[in-house]
């Protein structure tokens, strides 16, 4: 049973009346324009608070019982500008002083604030509202937080204006091109306390908001499931609750134009997306906003601008884009080897084999079970995989066993790099898989040295290809420091205990945690039980994680750093893997993330369930990660928890074959779900992976664009077609890049989908039949088929699909030319060596066709050995092709209807032309 409070009006409303001066700072050549508009807060809406009880298990997945804190900021004092605006090199400084009114709502009100406005670039505005004394915690300006760009002077020719009102202080961000007000705090409370910040912006009713993650639910945010809580948590993907990562950013689309915002704050928070407004309620730090106002104002441009700030997605090696297989529960190395051989026997591509914690000796990091996974046999498997151009990845958890005979703990203890209790002396000892554990402090100056040693020696021992970091919220199976003084004991997992025994144990944990105090020396905040209670699904902020009173290096409470823990581990682990293989691209997958994690790691959506609802929502989850700059993202194909069915697994394998990161993975105790288990699933997998592997040059080019430009590999239809309102809430169909439309079947017993087609010509991948959009068409798909369409006007670089990425890339190149209604098309191919961080040379080839003339131009820095040997044309009836004065006769493909020219060997190291007639 959960005691809940319903907030009928979570945030205050107000009406502007005449009476106060308002200023506008346009930033054009740094000029401040002052004008007078009268504004006065004249009315406050009173919140209605109801108490009731909800049985969580009875709630439908799509309409959870949301715990919403009441709005008690009505009548908050607010602030006014005192002393006037001060020009700075980068923009504007405004000193704020507290007005008379309600104080100390959920903490200690801070009387004096500073507003610093920086015109970072033509499209990025930075507005930082901070305590003048500088005591509130900021996200570190480092790779362990977010490295801010160095801005030496204000940009000019801005896409936006910044407006502010002096008393009470409020501000607006206005897009210059159409005078649209994008962010507006006028008439809304500004609360700034040591443990509670509140700020509201007005938005249109039924605003089109995308973002605020990590969340399992619909892609477009709505006014019903309207609270996003950000507090990293180990939990199996509940709908509309906080889970592994935190991304306090969003993109909004209004009348086809997009803008975005990021609140750079690592503290726990609730974000309310209500009718007519967005309200932030944060339990610490400062209000550090970045606004993104690109021109053209497209959603993809917002993603580009956002990743300009937080970092571009990691560039994967080619092999990382192949198919991966894992499960928690492979009993021994022989079973793992059997899976590899079954893939081979069933002629299903397998690029990378994985092992969960099963390989470990009593689930301790950097060890091998001497009976079931002896290191000699693991090395044999790795060698066999490498001989076949395949790869091997295993899991590493951050929690380190505190057993006194365990060397990784001894080395860490000697370096003093583990998280401490609030006395800053005693190590925090929680409980994870190996028993009682210590937690590396990623902010300790010696932790990189420690992690480098452990990771590199471990990876070298079996020639490991990549690492998967899990449980890094951080997860702990108890409350507080339950392992203090118990290092060599092996506790039971809490979920195996009888209810009464667990309740008694939990009460003891809570008693011990409270005995340590609710704060830390020199800090007056109540860190265990902050006055404002965010809607954390676990309740207590310290439940099943590190206590909020534990201390990091420099005596920084975990309360301030919790949401950054997995993000920081991603950076430290990325650096360690680079030590192991210098200049080789890093394969790293993380569960917990924050803004900017994508530049160090990929992400999978965690412990989903083998249900049709999770198949569908995996699409929205991956689209969200793409928007947040984590391009290498995917979900556990066929589901992790629970038993899948043949039909569900077939549809999921087909969809998962197009995930940017594609892996089948399930849990211990569940039925086997490798795709070869069912003949129908095997066939559907072969067909879908044949499309993926054929499109590998196109997909690899998309990842290079993500790495350099920032745009997603997967894209929502509304991001590609922002002026078509029929796509505003579409989160089943999606685009892969700008040229491929995927329309998966995500409903049980369904054999068709009512697919929406945007404006233009769309060619069926399998039979070449054209659909002219905009239209809706019923696509029939048997159990082994996923509908795929190529956009007219596109040129896709292709390969012949083989069983591995290496074998696929050894085949000649092909081009699929899908003509638009004007007989034109274009595309791009990026080529490099496929694995190195630093390249001797790269090629970027732009293809275009018009009036039957296909040209290839660009940069040709990489020496490509394979040739272009085939061009297929959809939408044109050409009979001949001329290459270097030699004439080739085209044939019509009986299956696809494309006109195909083949047999030539075109060098991709220089520009070329193919003339069709």
Q: Tell me which residues are annotated as active site.
A: 470, 473, 607
Ramachandran angles phi, psi of 750, nearest 5°: -80, 140
CA dist 84 and 193 (Å) reads 23
DSSP 108: P
Ramachandran angles phi, psi of 379, nearest 5°: -65, -40
Number of Cβ atoms within 10 Å of the Cβ of 491: 15
Helix, strand, coil % over all residues of the chain, rounded to 5? 20, 30, 50
CA dist 865 and 906 (Å) reads 11
Tokens of 701: 């080019």
CA dist 815 and 797 (Å) reads 5
From start to end of 743-898, where are the E strands? 752-764, 770-780, 788-791, 794-798, 813-818, 825-831, 843-850, 853-860, 868-874, 880-883, 886-889, 891-892
Cα 885–chain centre separation: 50
SS (H, E, C) 41-89: ECCCCCCCEEEEEECHHHCCCCCCCCCCCCCCCCCECCEEECCCCEECC
Phi-psi group of 335: left, alpha or beta (phi > 0 → left; psi -120 to 50 → alpha; rest → beta): alpha
CA dist 871 and 813 (Å) reads 9
CA dist 339 and 252 (Å) reads 45
CA dist 139 and 117 (Å) reads 18
**Surface-to-core class of residue 569, CB atoms within 10 Å of its CB (0-12 exposed, 13-18 middle, 19+ buried):** buried
Q: Is 171 helix (H, G, I), strand (E, B) or coil?
A: strand
CA dist 836 and 391 (Å) reads 16
Tokens of 266: 């690592």
């Amino acid at each position: 049973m959960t005691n809940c409070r319903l907030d009928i009006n979570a945030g205050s409303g107000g009406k502007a009346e005449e009476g106060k001066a308002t200023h506008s700072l346009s930033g054009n050549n740094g000029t401040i324009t002052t004008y007078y508009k009268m504004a006065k807060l004249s009315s406050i809406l009173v919140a209605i608070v109801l108490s009731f009880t909800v049985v969580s298990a009875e709630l439908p997945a799509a309409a959870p019982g949301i715990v919403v804190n009441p709005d008690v900021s009505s009548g908050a004092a607010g602030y006014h500008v005192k002393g006037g605006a001060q020009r700075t090199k980068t923009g504007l400084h405004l000193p704020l002083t507290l007005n008379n009114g309600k104080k100390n709502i959920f903490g200690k009100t801070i009387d004096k604030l500073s507003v610093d406005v920086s015109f970072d670039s033509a499209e990025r505005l930075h507005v930082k509202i901070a305590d003048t004394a500088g005591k509130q915690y900021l996200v570190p300006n480092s790779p362990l937080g977010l490295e801010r760009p160095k801005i030496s002077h204000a940009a000019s020719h801005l896409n936006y204006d910044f407006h502010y009102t002096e008393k009470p202080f409020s501000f607006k961000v206005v897009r210059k091109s159409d005078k649209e007000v994008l962010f507006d705090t006028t008439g809304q409370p500004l609360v700034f306390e040591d443990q509670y910040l509140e700020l509201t912006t007005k938005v249109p009713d039924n605003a089109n908001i995308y973002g605020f993650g990590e969340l399992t639910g619909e892609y477009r945010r709505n006014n019903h499931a309207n609270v996003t809580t950000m507090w990293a948590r180990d939990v199996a993907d509940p709908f509309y609750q906080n889970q592994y990562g935190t991304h306090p950013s969003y993109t909004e689309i209004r009348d086809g134009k997009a803008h975005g915002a990021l609140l750079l704050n690592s503290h726990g928070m609730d974000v309310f997306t209500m009718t007519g407004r967005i309200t932030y309620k944060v339990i610490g730090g400062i209000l550090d906003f970045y606004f993104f106002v690109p021109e053209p104002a497209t959603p993809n441009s917002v993603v580009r601008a956002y990743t300009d700030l937080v970092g571009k997605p990691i560039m994967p090696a080619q092999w990382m884009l192949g198919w991966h297989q894992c499960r928690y529960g492979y009993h021994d190395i022989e079973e793992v080897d059997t899976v590899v051989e079954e893939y081979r026997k069933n002629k299903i591509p397998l690029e990378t084999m994985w092992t969960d914690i099963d390989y470990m000796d009593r689930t301790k990091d950097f060890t091998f079970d001497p009976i079931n996974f002896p290191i000699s046999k693991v090395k044999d498997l790795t060698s066999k995989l490498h001989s076949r151009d395949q790869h091997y990845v295993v899991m590493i958890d951050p929690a380190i066993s505190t057993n006194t005979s365990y060397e990784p703990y001894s080395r860490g203890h000697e370096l003093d790099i583990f998280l401490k209790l609030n006395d800053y002396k005693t190590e925090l000892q929680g409980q994870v898989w190996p028993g009682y554990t210590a937690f590396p402090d990623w902010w300790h100056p010696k932790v990189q040295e420690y992690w480098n040693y452990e990771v590199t020696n471990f990876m070298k021992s079996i020639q490991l290809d990549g690492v998967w970091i899990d449980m890094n919220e951080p997860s702990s199976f108890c409350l507080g420091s339950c392992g203090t003084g118990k290092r060599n004991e092996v506790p039971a997992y809490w979920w195996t205990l009888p209810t009464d025994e667990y309740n008694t144990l939990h009460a003891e944990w809570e008693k011990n945690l409270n005995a340590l105090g609710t704060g830390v020396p020199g800090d007056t905040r109540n860190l265990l039980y902050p006055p404002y209670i965010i809607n954390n699904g676990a309740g207590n902020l310290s439940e099943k994680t590190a206590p909020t009173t534990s201390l990091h290096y420099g005596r920084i409470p975990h309360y301030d750093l919790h949401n950054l823990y997995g993000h920081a581990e991603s950076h430290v682990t990325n650096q360690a893997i680079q030590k192991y293989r210098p200049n080789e691209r890093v394969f790293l997958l993380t569960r917990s993330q924050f803004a900017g994690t994508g530049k160090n790691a990929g992400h999978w959506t965690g412990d989903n369930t083998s249900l049709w609802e999770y198949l569908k929502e995996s699409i929205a989850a991956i689209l969200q990660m793409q928007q947040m700059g984590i391009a290498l993202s995917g979900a556990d194909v066929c589901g992790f928890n629970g038993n899948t069915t043949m039909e569900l697994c077939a549809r999921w394998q087909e969809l998962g074959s197009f995930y940017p990161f594609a892996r089948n993975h399930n849990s211990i105790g569940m039925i086997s779900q490798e795709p070869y288990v069912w003949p129908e699933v095997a066939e559907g997998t072969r067909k879908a992976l044949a499309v993926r592997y054929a499109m590998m040059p196109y997909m690899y080019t998309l990842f290079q664009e993500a790495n350099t430009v920032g745009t997603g590999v997967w894209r929502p239809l509304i991001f590609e077609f922002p002026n078509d309102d029929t796509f505003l809430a579409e989160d089943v169909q999606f685009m892969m890049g700008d040229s491929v439309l995927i329309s998966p079947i995500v409903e049980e017993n369904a054999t068709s989908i009512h697919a929406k087609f945007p404006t233009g010509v769309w060619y069926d991948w399998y039979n070449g039949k054209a659909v002219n959009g905009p239209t809706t068409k019923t696509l029939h798909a048997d159990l082994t088929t996923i509908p795929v369409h190529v956009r007219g006007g596109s040129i896709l670089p292709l390969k012949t699909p083989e069983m591995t990425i290496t074998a696929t890339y050894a085949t000649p190149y092909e081009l699929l030319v899908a003509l638009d209604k004007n007989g034109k098309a274009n595309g791009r191919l990026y080529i490099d060596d496929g694995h190195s961080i630093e390249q001797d040379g790269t090629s970027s080839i732009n293809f275009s066709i018009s009036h039957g003339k296909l040209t290839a131009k660009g940069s040709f820095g990489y020496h490509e050995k394979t040739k272009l040997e085939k061009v297929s044309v959809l939408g044109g009836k050409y009979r001949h092709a001329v290459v270097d004065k030699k004439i080739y006769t085209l044939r019509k493909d009986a299956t696809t209807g494309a006109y195909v020219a083949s047999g030539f060997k075109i060098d991709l190291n220089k520009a070329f032309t193919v003339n069709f007639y």
